[in-house]
Amino acid sequence: MHSIFISDLHLCPARPAINEIFFEFLKGPAAQAAALYILGDLFEYWAGDDDDDPFNASVIAKLRAYADRGIPLYLMYGNRDFLIGERFIAASGAILLPDPILTDLHGTPTLLMHGDTLCTDDVDYQKFRTQVRNPIFQQAFLARPLAARKQEIAKLRTQSEVSKTTKAEVIMDVTAAAVEVALRTHGYPRLIHGHTHRPARHGHVIDGHHCERWVLADWYQHGSYLRCDAVGCESVDLN
């Protein structure tokens, strides 16, 4: 058997073609897996579980149909959808994973992360992340009217896109030091993460231990997934 990993789908009503690819993926390759792992940013944004937008409801229904097959469906927060809450988890049938989490993947110790915490050179983002992941901040934000939350999210997304144009590309990627610490702390496992939109397989030698790091692709242009079994991992394009 094999497990499948995806991240950074950024699903939203404005990208219907990718949404359909994802829905077909759930009925196709994902249905043949031992487990499906979504390592963050399933949605372009998530304003709260009380957002009953028909598109959100359609995604939840597709996830529930998949989970009802009896295949474990694991979900990790990303930097866009960290406000997903208990209502969504219960409705979708997903199992929420902490970030990071070390698991035995078909006999190989494997560390799973979204990947944003590895981008330590982006100091401004890390400060922002600390603020918005604070439970007190989230409680206050979710107490605001839904329309106000969506407006604030739209403003933050615009500011983020502008900010990216002034940052060096290397700042928005993982740092070697952060990867080294993560691999050392967790016993030199294989590492799978997303977030950076720079799909690749990297080799690292940490304290004499050879570790591999797989970076998942985003779904902006087309869909893809990482397939892992007892032999190893391979990246697969959907179209």
For residue 212, give every residue at least 6 positions away whose Cβ sits within 8 Å of its Cβ, in sequence order, or none: 190, 191, 201, 202, 203, 204, 233
Partners of 214 in the beta sheet?
192, 201
7 and 195 Cβ atoms separated by less than 8 Å: yes
What band does 31 get if pLDDT is binned at 50, 70 and 90? very high
Q: What is the pLDDT of residues 190-214, one digit of tens each?
A: 999 999 999 999 999 999 999 999 9
In the chain the domains, ranked by start, together with CATH numbers, are 3-237 (3.60.21.10)
pTM (whole model) above 0.85:
yes
Using CA atoms, how far apart are residues 120 and 117, in angstroms rounded to an integer?
Answer: 7
Q: What is the pLDDT of residues 112-168, one digit of tens each?
A: 999 999 999 999 999 999 999 999 999 999 999 999 999 999 999 888 888 777 777
pLDDT for the residue numbered 9: 98
Using CA atoms, how far apart are residues 125 and 119, in angstroms rounded to an integer?
Answer: 9
pLDDT for the residue numbered 124: 92
pLDDT for the residue numbered 96: 98
**Arithmetic mean of pLDDT over the chain:** 96
Q: What is the pLDDT of residues 71-87, one digit of tens each?
A: 999 999 999 999 999 99
Residue 170 pLDDT greater than 80, yes or no: no
Tell which wins on pLDDT, 171 or 43: 43
Using CA atoms, how far apart are residues 176 and 154, in angstroms rounded to an integer?
Answer: 32
pLDDT for the residue numbered 171: 78
